[in-house]
Each structure stands twice: as C-alpha cells, then as structure tokens.
Structure 1
C-alpha cells in the first residue's frame, strides 16, 4: 500500500518560517553591525591620527617660527653670541646651537667651538633650506637619537635638537585601552619615531620588514607602499603580532615625507561590535528557543491530542478493541501480505438480549468486555479484533489449517460459557461464529468482502445449539451479487415509481367489517416482475435506503387517502411501517408531519408501526417520539410484539395505541396451550390499559375462534384477505 504524504501542520511551518526570519535577520544585523561599527571605528582612528599629525606639525612649525625669531634676535643683538645662546630656555631633552659657516664656528651652551671645512660642507648640505626638519639621527657627542629643527639666514644657522624619546612621549597615540599605538615613518617605511608602547617592536627598523615577516599578502603590501609613496591617506589590514591589525596612515605636511601610522588590533576595534553581536545572538537564540519551546509544546500536545483523537476515531470506548473502521484499515494492510492465508470470523452472542433483559445493561457490558479480553489473548502481529456494535465482534487471523480456526472458536465459546457460569448465569447461551477464508473464493480481495461473506456464514447457521460455527462457501457469493444488483437499481426504481404499496385489510374478529389496513411495499420492476420485500428490505435496512423508501410509501399512502377524501369515498386507518433508522433522524417527525399536513389527512387515520426490537435500544427515546407523533394526530403501534424479549411492564410507560401480536404465537408447535395462554394474558393486559390488539398471520378457523373468544380487537391474515393491490382493495372495501 502506498503511504500518503503527511502534511506538515501550518503552525509548524509558520514557526519554522519565523525561526528562519529571525536567523536571517540576526545574520543580516550582525553583518550590518560589524560593517558599520568597524567603518565608524576606523574612521574615528583615522581622524584621531590626523589630529595627532596636525598637533605634531603645529609643534614643529612653531619650533621653526621660534627659531626664526631667536636667530633674528641673535643676529641683531650687540651682545656676545655665546651669551645669547646660553640665554635660550632649554632643558635636558632639548639642546640649541648656533653655526656660522663664514667664521667656521658653532656655539652651544658649553661655549664657542671651531668647525673644520669638511664639517661646514656637510652642514651646508644638511641644512640647505631656509628652515626645516631633519630625520632623526644620533648626536655625535651624546650618542642620543634626536630630531633637528633649524632655520638659516645666509651663512648663519640656529638649530634645535630634540631627543626622539621626548617627542615620542609627547605625541605618542594610545587607542582602545592602550591596545593601539603609533609610529612615525618615512615613505620608505623606515621607523623615525617609535613609542614606548609595550607592543611597539624595538628590533625592526623598517615597517615593511615587520609586515613582510607576518606573511601578509604581497599585493596588499605593494598597495600600502604605493599609498605612502604618493602621500595618500588611508587604512590597511595586516597581520602583526599574530593578530589582524588595522594600519591607519596619515601623511605629515612638514618633514621629509613623514607619515603617522597608527596600529590597532582589529579585535580591539570589534570589541564593541562583538558585544552588540553577542547580545544580538543571545536575544535571537532566546527568541528562537522560545519559538522552539512553543513548537515542542505544540508537538507534545498535538501528539497527545492525536492519540486521543485516534482512540476516539479508531477504538471502541467500551472494550478497547479496534472499531470497525480501524479494523478494516489494518485488515487491508494484512491482506497485502499475499504469502499468508487469511480468515475473518464474525462473532455473535446468541441470546445476548436475554442477558441484558434479565441481568441489566451493566452486566451485559461486563460480558462484552470479557469477550473482548478473550479475543485479545489471540491478538498478535498477524491477528486483529474489533467490536462492531452490540454483541457483534470481528476477528481476523492467519492460519495454516482450518482446524486452527475451529480451535479458536471452540476455546472462545468454552471460555465465555465458563465465565457466565462463574457469574451465576445458568441459561443456555451459545456463541455464533461465521467464518470466511479468503482461499474459498477467488473473488475476495477486500476487507468488505471478507466481512460480508463471514456475515453470510453467520446468518446461515441453524438454531441448533450444537452448530455454533459455519464456513462461508462460494455459492453464498450469489447472494452478494444479488444484493449488488438490487443496490444498482434501487435509486432508479424509486425515481420510476417501481415501488408500490399493497394493502392488507384488518378485520374485526368476526370478519364482517374492515377496521383498517396495513400498507406493504412491493417492487414491480421494469420487466413487470414482482420483487418481494424479503429480498430487498433487509438490504435497504443495512444500506440506509429504507429511509427514502419508507418516506416514499408514507407519502404514497397519504396521496391515496387524500384522493379518496376529495372524492368523498370511505377512508379507513392505514398503518405504515417505519424503520428503526428513522428514530435516529433529527428531522424525522418534522418531515412526516409536513407530509401529513400537505395532504390534509385527518388525525387518527395514519398509524406508524414500530418493531418491538427498537424498544430494547432506547426506551426513553421511543417514549418521547411516540408522544410527539400522537400530539400531531398519529396512531402508534408495536409490530411483532412478542418476537423479542421486551418486558410487558414497558407497555405501561409507552403511550402505544396498538400492539400487533407476532404470528409466531399462532403457529403450530409442541406447546399450543402455553402459546394461547400467553396471547390471552397479553390481550387482557392490553385491554386493561386501553391498548388495541391486532393478531397477525391468522390463517385457520380455529385461530380465529380462539381470538374471538379471548376478545382480540382485530385480525389480519390470509383467513380473510391477503395483501391486495390498490384497485382490488378499493373494490373489496
């Protein structure tokens, strides 16, 4: 069997969609935060580096301006040069000295000194501009690395030497909790000034050497070199100290193509973004977890609800066995296993109504549960059981030999008898088993066929207590084919009015007067062949078509009576049979009342016959329905009274107008006297509570005389008249 694709509930699809949206939104937001915060942070670092570059430029420019003023003051002063030089404010990190290339001398705080010619040529090459800054160099006397700022007035120079460490401390940058630092380099990458920062490399002299050693991309390095060579401002990413670092570079407007380069670990830049991202991830996970939790609760509740629904849909609430629908579903799966022999057993407790009547419905349910428990002992992977309704069960199993099936039936029958005996029930109760083996009919392929055929076998059982099981045989299939043929024609037959009613008169006991009649349906097909009720009524009861047929017959009777009334002809009460199925239709009374009113039938002319067995199903429901029908002018009668096992006490609670004694009491049997005494008692009781009595199936003069003697009200039977077509009945009437 092909498995159906399971549809995913909309709620779960919606939840998965929501989780997907949250996840996508989270990823997009993380990307956005990373990109936007990184861009902003780098822009801030670049701006800070630019500000530092401006501050250093301003400092050096002011140095130059101050030197220019001092030099002019020295040149124009009449005081001794050495004295003027000594008066220039300075401290341990700064030193001033004056050079005169014409007089071959220089002056510092220690006094005046001669300069050889080679030194003069060297100085003139070094300080060739009117003012400027000299790349850091080591002082000849002190050996300390310094930066030289100078101004020149023809052959005179005033020079300020500032120790590099002083400049580095004064203008060193710090970023992100001192994780970032800066260098001052030239366009060739040579480190001119390095800070005292712990991460600043003190071994390498060139920035590109540092970058090269960290295995960075050559194309990125060349791009960085090109930017420095062209005095460009920007950023670059390089590995440094085993981490990815951001290099922000800003060219200086003073000096020999100097650059301020800030180096910050990328992780430090992204710390804020990472915190936001972490919170975003946590929040998203909480949302996703919440959705997942709700989905989990839904799935658990759905699974629990599904089990409840399956129990309601597939299991019998009284016995816990499969219901008929589930039995067929599971049975069809078993039939697909063609390598096994399968049989269905239709089980019925003969005399179960007696058990209910004598011991009550609670004990009856107790018996049904016990039978279910007996069947469950045989339920395996290849055997299933179900409770159909009332006292009817189905059991399906595989077998190797038919004796295996017989043995199961014998054991169940024996165990149930023993159970009833142990519970004080001494009356004879027989289990009935109708058995259908798939191998016995090649046309059987479905569970419906197996069940129907097992039911046929059950119905074929005799009333002999020694025969409690019966095997289906292929000849019974003809009955099924006949039913199928009837079902294929029934709707068309109703449409073509092939169903007609005959009327069987009801006489007074003398046979001198017609007091009423019973409408009995007949089917005269298109070939003018009559189909008797016993051939189609049981089938229509089973498939529900009886509802349409009963209503059709009822309306036909109303039409007939209306026609006679309009023609001022004699009209007598007519009884119409109604199926038990009508009593479970919520609009049954409403429909019948509408038909009665449509044809304006006077009250007390229409009688509805209810079979006695209906009383066993739901007495209170029947009470309500009978009372309501009588309120609308209907007469109500119990048909086949005495055929079932209803208590006579029920009659005192039912507002019945008529009881029809079952013909079984009048048939010849071994105890006629007892039967007649029962009839006499029933009629006497009925008279005492104002219920009319009708004896059905009266055929002999002796029966008529007996009924006359005991005071029966009406007689219906072949002794006076058989059921008659309408035309004949009218003449008879």
Structure 2
C-alpha cells in the first residue's frame, strides 16, 4: 500500500515554516510542524517522521541540542535530520555533523536545492526503515540486538557488569498486531509504551516484532531489579488499556535473561528471554527467568519435533476410535478418529504430548492428511466388507483447515475408498473459523455442497457464539467436556450446557456432549435433550478390532 513520506519542519518562525511548506507542497509529503525543541522531540517520538527539517535557532534549545537528543534516543536515533541555518561558517557545520545531522541547508533557501536534498535523504532513508517495525514505529529485532551488542562492548570497556533483557508476550498480541497495523493507533501504542517505561531511566530501549513480542533492555539490572520490574509490569497490565472508545484487558507472560549469566551476544540474550516467556503455563500473568532446565526442555522439544518427521515415514502413528452414542436408545451411530503415537523412543503417547509440536513444525498437515486417509480406509472396510452402516468424525487443525489442498484431498480419499460424503464428518475448532471467518465460511460451504458433514469441536471454549455460527453451514455442535464434567456441581456449567442444547435445536443443529463419564451425566443429558453422547462411561478410544466388535454387538443399546 502506498504511504506518503512524512516530514517534520521545526522552526519557531511562522514565515520560515511557510517557506519550507510552500517548497514541498507539490511533492506529496505529509507535513507536520513544531515551533520549539521540546515540541520537536515529542513529535519525533510520537509520529516517527521520515525526515526532520531542523532550524538551528530555536527559543528553548538550539538545533544542535535537539539533533543530539534525537540521536541519543534509540527510537529516533536513525531518523534523518537536515539542519537549516543562516550560519555558513565551518565551525557551525562541523558542530552540526557532530550533533548527528545528515545534511545542511543554508539560508536564503533555494526551492530546487531543498527539493533535491530532501529527495536524496529520503531515498537513502529506505534502508533505515528496515530497522523499525512499520505498524508501531518501535525498533525491530535487528536494531534492538545491534543496540545490545554495542552496550556490551561499551560495558566491557567501562567494566560495568550487568543488565537484563525482558521479553513480554501479551495475551492479545496478534489482535494488537493487526490493530496497530490497520489503525496505526498512536494513542494505544503510547499507552503500551508508558506501561513498559513508567518514567524509568533504566528502560533504555523497547522493541516490537510481528510475532507480538515486546522486548525491553533494563540497564544495570540484576535478578532482583528485573523481578521487581516484571512484577510492576504485571500490576500495570492488571488494568485495561484504552483503545477506540473502549478498553482492552490483556494479560502478559514475561521472560527474563541476564547479562552476562545467560548469554554473550544480543541474539542469544533475546532468544533466551523469549524462550522463558514461551514456557507452557496456563497462568494469565507469568514471570520466568531463563535457566539451564529451560534449555534442556527446549532441546528435548526440538528432538521430539524432529522425530515427528521420522515417525510418519516409520508408520508409528495409529488410530483409535471412540464410539458416539444416540442419547435416546444408546445405539452406536458413529465414531471419532483419535490419533496415537506408538513411538520407538517415547512409548505409547497421547495427542497432548505431540500435537502442539506438530503444529509448530508444520508436520500437522501431513499428520492430519494421514488421519483423514486412514479413517476413510477403516470406514470403507466397515462399509464394504463388514456391511456396517456408520460414520466417522475426523478432527482438522486450524493449520490444516487453512491448507488450500484440504478439500481436494478429502474428495480424493473419499473417491479412493468409494465412500458416501454424508458418512464423513469434518470437525473444526472455533479458533480455526475465527482466525479467518470469511475464508472459513467459503470452505465450509464448498465442503457442505459436496455432501460432507461439518461439526464445531470443543464449542464454548473459544470466541464464537451460536448466534454467530448460524451463518455457517454446520450440522453439529460438540459441547466441550470441561462443561459436561462440571455441570453436575457447577450451576454456571449446567446453564451453559442447557443453553447450548436449546439454542442448537432452535437452529436445527445436533448436539454432541463430550466427556460423559458418569451415569448421572447420561441421565441429565438425556433430560436436557442432548442428541449424542461420547465418553469413558460408554467406552474409551479403542483400536479397530475392538471398535468393529462394538459396532457389531451394540452392547450399550437400551433393552
């Protein structure tokens, strides 16, 4: 998208501002003005202009001092500055360059010269922009790490001893990233930075990257100072931040690495701090220092992720199937395919052990394709060889759902095994839909038109509501087991389950209750009008032979 270059003109004279504005008016620039040094420094930080045209003579501080402060601030240190002056002596120009000026314009100004110098400096400035995050204007990782490396060199020379890197991951990081990119809300950004900075002089630089990481250099900080700083951040984010005309409540996870204990380069310190804040933890507010155990966990994580690639080729994955039971007569009318890893190295492993790793390294798509194909192979065996009429439900991850070839693969596998699409149910999570609602709707309608059944998995744990999902061609809602397992003792969970069932039926959708583990669950769900039940009360997930036997004998059928 085209973006105008922005120029900040700093001159206490209205006539001086008008002259420069007139020269640049036809050049398609966005022009801002400042009449003194203090205002210039404030606007340089807030609007991050592509160029500052800075008059030397100002009322509160001279242009040399303003330029020096621009250079000393890590957020503006690379901002191009052209000094405008009536001083033509050699000493003044040397002083300007020593302050950090990139170019000089001497009064009286010439229009052609002004335009030419501005164009040249802006052209050279394209490389500087690579060091800043476009949506926030904050330094990116490249500049941040370079700044740390320079600090380390200067500390070695001065014998100074320590500092801390604080990596902050906000709970709504991707929302903030999209919001800041689209709206460029400087007020929200200012609110975030103020929470990090909070008037502290030891906060030397804050960076931001597209993964939603804010990273902070805390100068001269040991473990106690870093812990207090992190604790203050947690308290600050306990209060909502302002955005648009409302408020947004975010939580944060904080990782800390210390110099020199946890790294000898900027890159190593930043990676170790982020490794600490990415440690799996369900707490909304979380602080963790980097340590060697984290490193061992990470290496183990990488090893497992690598072995996932081999496991697919070595055919170490197997499918188990859990029966789905009609609530009115307890007939088995379908089954859900659930993957297991029979690993040569780790033993028999459940999805909690490996699915998130497969999502991180991309093997989830190959793994998911294998699940779809093998589920259909088994369904074909039941349908064609055993003459058993049933259906299979297959889980599709958010990454796999976004794979452009997913629909083609499903169609090809169904054709390969000569299966009727109506016997195949695709289970999609709320998060997969909400990640890209419009695209999800198109894909779902396309699958539905071809006859496949669509189910929303783990309903109630995400952002979607039934009222929202009425615009999607779904057949079924699976009520998350968290609500089902607690609804006997928790009134809120009871009301949630009851409400989902009633509203689903209003929309002509079937309901499946997961996590049914007790006879009281069964009785209450039947009374509520739930359509299908699934859980350990009837059967744990079992292998193909056991599943075939259950379908043939129908042991749960009401007499």
1:352-431, aligned counterparts within 5 Å?
367=188, 370-372=191-193, 374-375=195-196, 383-389=205-211, 392-417=213-238, 420=241, 430-431=251-252
In the other structure, the counterpart of 2:277 is 455
Q: CA deviation at 1:540?
A: 1.3
Q: Among 647, 653, 661, which residue is 2:465 paired with?
A: 647
Matches within 5 A, 1:99-248: none
Q: Is the partner of 2:422 in helix, strand or coil?
A: coil
Cα distance in structure 2, aligned partners of 1:540 and 1:509: 35
User: Separation in 2 of the partners of 1:353 and 1:386?
Assistant: 12
Partner SS for 1:712? coil
Instruction: Classify the secondary structure of the residue corresponding to 1:653.
Output: coil
Instruction: Give the C-alpha shift of residue 448 in structure 1.
Output: 7.3
Once residues 310 and 415 of structure 2 are traced to their aligned partners in structure 1, the CA distance between those partners, rounded to angstroms, is 28
Query: In the TM superposition, what whole-angstrom CA distance separates every residue of 1:524-555 from its partner, at most 9, and x where no partner exists?
Result: 12368212211111111122221111111111
| Cα distance change, pair 440–546 in 1 and its aligned pair in 2 (3 A) | farther
Q: Distance in 2 between matches of 1:652 and 1:504?
A: 28
Partner of 1:543: 361
Q: Which runs of structure 2 are paired with 1:267-666 in the superposition (5 Å)? A: 303-307=124-128, 310=130, 315-322=132-139, 339=156, 341=162, 343-350=164-171, 367=188, 370-372=191-193, 374-375=195-196, 383-389=205-211, 392-417=213-238, 420=241, 430-437=251-258, 446=268, 449-457=271-279, 459-460=280-281, 462=283, 468-509=286-327, 512-526=330-344, 529-666=347-484
| 2:527 is equivalent to residue 709 of structure 1 | yes
The 1:422/1:599 distance shift into structure 2, 3 A limit, reads closer
Q: Distance in 2 between matches of 1:316 and 1:685?
A: 45
Q: CA deviation at 1:315?
A: 4.3
Taking structure 1 as reference, are residues 335 and 669 closer, same or farther at Cα in structure 2, changes over 3 Å only? farther
1:622-663 per-residue CA deviation (whole Å, 9 max, x = no partner) reads 211211121222222111111123333212222221111111
Unaligned 5+ segments in structure 1 are 1-294
Q: Is the 8 A contact 2:488 2:494 kept in 1?
A: no
Number of aligned residue pairs: 426
- The 3-state SS of whatever aligns with 1:432 is strand
Judged with a 3 Å threshold, the aligned counterparts in structure 2 of structure 1 residues 562 and 631 are, in CA distance, closer, same or farther, namely: same
> Does the 8 A contact of 1:435 with 1:470 survive in 2?
yes
Instruction: Report the TM-score, using the length of structure 1 for normalisation.
Output: 0.51
C-alpha distance in 2 between matches for 1:564 and 1:333: 67
Moved more, 488-497 or 468-477: 468-477
SS of alignment partner, residue 604 of structure 1: helix
Quote the Cα distance in structure 1 between the aligned partners of 2:429 and 2:362. 17
The answer to whether the 8 Å contact 1:371/1:416 transfers is no
Match for residue 225 of structure 1? none
**Alpha-carbon distance in structure 1 between the residues aligned to 2:450 and 2:368:** 19
Compute the displacement of 1:620 (Å). 1.7
Q: Does 1:680 align with 2:498?
A: yes
Structure 2 residue matching 1:520: 3-state secondary structure: strand
Offset, 1:587: 3.0
Residue equivalent to 1:721: 539
RMSD: 4.0
CA deviations 1:141-180 (Å, max 9, x no partner) are xxxxxxxxxxxxxxxxxxxxxxxxxxxxxxxxxxxxxxxx
CA distance in 2 between counterparts of 1:461 and 1:379 reads: 32
CA 1:437/1:593 → structure 2, altered by over 3 Å: closer, same or farther? Answer: farther
Does the 8 Å contact 1:353/1:645 carry over to 2? no
CA gap of 1:623–1:341, structure 2 versus 1, over 3 A, is farther
Structure (1 or 2) with the larger CA radius of gyration = 1
Partners of 1:421 and 1:462 lie apart in 2 by 23
Checking the alignment, whether the CA contact within 8 Å between 1:344 and 1:454 is kept in structure 2 is no
Structure 1 distance, partners of 2:263, 2:126, is 42
| Contact kept in structure 2, 1:376 and 1:385, CA below 8 Å | no
Could you tell me how far apart the structure 2 residues matched to 1:302 and 1:321 are? 21
CA contact (8 A) 1:659 1:693 kept: yes
Alignment of 1:2-41 (within 5 A): none
Task: Give the direction of change, closer, same or farther, for the CA distance of 1:331–1:665 in structure 2 (3 Å limit).
Answer: farther
2:41 maps to what in 1?
Answer: none
In structure 2, relative to structure 1, the CA distance for the partners of 1:507 and 1:423 (3 Å cut) is: same
Q: Equivalents in 1 of 2:142, 2:412: separation in Å?
A: 36
**Residues in 1 aligned to 2:336 and 2:201: alpha-carbon distance in whole angstroms:** 50
How far apart are 1:401 and its partner, in Å? 1.5
